[in-house]
Amino acid sequence: MKHQTRLRFELGGFEAEGIELRLSRGRLLYSKTTGPFQAQPPQPIQPTEDQWRQFWEEVDRIGVWAWLPEYFNPNVLDGTQWWLELRHGERKVKSEGSNLYPGSTDVDYTPASAFAQFLRALAHLTGQHDLAFNGEV
């Protein structure tokens, strides 16, 4: 991966399963939590150049570069939080949310939403189907 490539994504909530995906020193690392303070060690993943190419094409198609800096639902005090930092070449985005997602207007997101499409793109990149909406890839 090029020096100007960055990927970090986190999704989870208090006392819930969570995932973290990050690109560190050219290695893609995936880790999962099954509850509070129960994190599994990071697992290295080696996507092919073709998988990376498809991932960046999906990011462009979904419109991730135009995501807002914050998606926040003030009507939910707990729930699910997520955080994304993405950079590829000159394009970059930082976006986060709490119980609200790109392409959604409520606490949940649909399989057709931009957020669900992004999760599927991550699942294709990593082979980790638990990233996708209900495991649908």
DSSP letters spanning 52-81: HHHHHHHHHHHTGGG--SEEE-TT-SSS-E
pTM over 0.85: yes
Least confident window among 38-52, 81-95, 107-121? 38-52
In this predicted model, which residue has the larger pLDDT, 7 or 105?
A: 7
Q: Quick check: 36 pLDDT over 70?
A: no
The CATH number of residue 41's host domain is 3.30.1560
Q: Which residue segment(s) compose the domain that 15 sits in?
A: 5-135
Per-residue model confidence (pLDDT) at position 63: 97
User: How many domains does the chain divide into?
Assistant: 1
